[in-house]
Amino acid sequence: MKFVKNYRCTLCGREYSKDEKIYTCPECGEKGILDVEYDYEGLKKILTKSYFEHNRDYTMWRYKDVMSIREEDIDKTLKVGWTPLYRSNNLEEKIGIKELYIKDEGLNPTASLKDRASAVAVIKALENNADTIACSSTGNAASSLAGNAARLGLSTVIFVPERAPQGKLAQLLIYGAKVISVKGDYRETFNLSKEAIDHWGWYNRNAAINPHLVEGKKTVAIEIAEQLGWQVPDWVAVSVGDGCTIGGVYRGFYDLLNIGLINRIPKILGVQAKGCCPFYTAYTENEPLKPTDENTIADSISVGIPRNPVKAMRAVEDSKGTWITVSDEAILEAMKTLGSSEGIFGEPAGVAGLAGVFKAVKEGIITKDETVSVIITGNGLKDVKNALKAAGDKIECKPDIEQLKRYLT
């Protein structure tokens, strides 16, 4: 918190004091999402390579100096972050690129990247003396919030669309959340949560609106950079729904560049599902974002009205990356390929980024001599139904070795 300077509106550029209790720009309303600004000169003095070499905190809090949180309660949280970044053993040869790194965010405490935002949300709730946090979510933000809140003794009210997969719903209920399953799509879910939050005054974990949450998500980018010895790859690929994750990824690299720990920002590949791709359409048609259908198995990125458009568009544009779409079939295929060739199991939205890499290599957007890091954003056990669609058949066999021999030869 020491190094936070102020908030700045991403739309009109107005500055606000860091002491103001606001989520969005009072002048621009809900679309005026705020950025947190830091004293990079001050940060430069303490966040050196040698500081990190000696830092034994292997959680996202190793980057707490470049986050907008009070530090007092962070030791009580679940252990979020410092997930493995694997160099691919088999895939890079298969797809024919120089280096492929796989960041397995499914290994976070509630099994998705959303934990990075939720850990911040619960800390902010304590700072604000709130006892209840609420959010609407396609699933992971919800289950993640519920778990992280339970750990700190906070209550949660969660709004999910009725399509949320069973695994995520089970997590929510086990973590003790009050779950409102909304008979409608994600847009209607979001709107109802907003009205309820306004009415009851709960702490708001809706990631786009709350500027601190992108500050949590950005730690995934900082980790990738540190795990690669501060030599960033040419590309970082990530799946996109609301746009908070990709905004956070850009922000993490942007901070590091300003602190002087890296010398460039990787190109960011924003990957959307073909059946729900408002960012891709806006980008390729050079038009403002339009609401779209939500028609993909990748429920976590099935977002027809993205809530963080400015940060997401800026991430791709300023990093000189691009947008790409992938079909549901390609997502399922990527799930199987990743699992069977690297031992990493992602949910559909979790592997969409990888499906995007496959396609981008095929189309020559990513060239063979480039290095790529892909973020697997969520664990496959959350959505077993779709995993089974991707997986292929098992062998059914009597307890009889002769029959088994026939099957296996």
Ligand X SMILES: *Cc1c(COP(=O)(O)O)cnc(C)c1O
407 alpha carbon, distance to own chain's centre? 42
Q: Does 25 bind Zn ion (CB under 5 A)?
A: yes
Q: Smallest distance, Å, CB 374 to ligand X? A: 12
DSSP-derived secondary structure for 310-328: HHHHHHHHHTT-EEEEE-H
Q: Which residues, 6 or more positions from 341, have their beta carbon under 8 angstroms from its beta carbon?
A: 89, 90, 91, 94
Q: Distance between CA 27 and CA 12 in Å, rounded?
A: 8
Query: What does the block give as tokens for 190?
Result: 């979001």
Residue 245 near which of ligand X, Zn ion, none (CB within 5-8 Å, type-dependent):
ligand X
Is 189 near ligand X (CB under 6 A)?
no
**Residue 347 interacts with ligand X (CB under 6 A)?**
yes
Single residue of 68, 83, 108, 112 touching ligand X by CB under 6 A: 112
Contact flag: residue 404 with Zn ion (CB under 5 A): no
Binding region for ligand X (CB under 6 A) out of 8-16, 51-59, 344-352, 363-371: 344-352
What residue type is assigned to position 353 of the chain? G
Question: Could you tell me the smallest distance in angstroms from the CB atom of residue 114 to ligand X?
Answer: 5
Does position 357 interact with ligand X (CB under 6 A)? The reply is: no
Q: Which one among 16, 28, 42, 196 touches Zn ion, defined by CB under 5 A?
A: 28
252 binds ligand X (CB under 6 A): no
Of the residues 35, 104, 226, 242, which one makes contact with ligand X according to CB under 6 A? 242
204 forms beta bridges with 134
162 binds, options Zn ion, ligand X, none, Cβ within 5 to 8 A by partner type: none
Closest CB to Zn ion among 26 and 84? 26
Interface pick for ligand X out of 193, 373, 377, 386 (rule CB under 6 A): 377
CA distance 171 to 96: 38
Report the partner that residue 349 touches, choosing among Zn ion, ligand X, none (CB closer than 5 to 8 A by kind): ligand X
Contacts (Cβ under 8 Å, ≥6 apart) of 9:
15, 16, 25, 27, 28, 32, 33, 34, 35
CA dihedral 184, 189, 192, 198 (to 10 degrees): 180
Binding-site positions read 140, 377
| Both structure tokens of 399 | 């307890």
Nearer residue to ligand X within complex by CB, 95 or 240? 240
Contact partner, 301, from Zn ion, ligand X, none, Cβ < 5-8 Å per class: ligand X
Please identify which residue in 36, 120, 244, 366 interacts with ligand X, judged by CB under 6 A: 244
- Output the six-digit token pair for 261: 């720990």
Interacting partner of 32 out of Zn ion, ligand X, none (Cβ under 5 to 8 A depending on kind)? Zn ion
> For residues 322 and 316, what is the distance between their CA atoms, to the nearest angstrom?
6
**Total residues in contact with ligand X, by rule CB under 6 A:** 18
Q: Does 241 bind ligand X (CB under 6 A)?
A: yes
* 25 vs 372 by CB, closer to Zn ion: 25
Residue nearer to Zn ion on the CB measure, 12 or 174:
12
Contacts of 34 (CB under 8 A, 6+ apart): 7, 8, 9, 10, 16, 22, 23, 24, 25, 211
* ∠ CA 21-303-110, rounded to 5°: 70
Residue numbers of the site for Zn ion (CB under 5 A)? 9, 11-12, 25, 27-28, 32
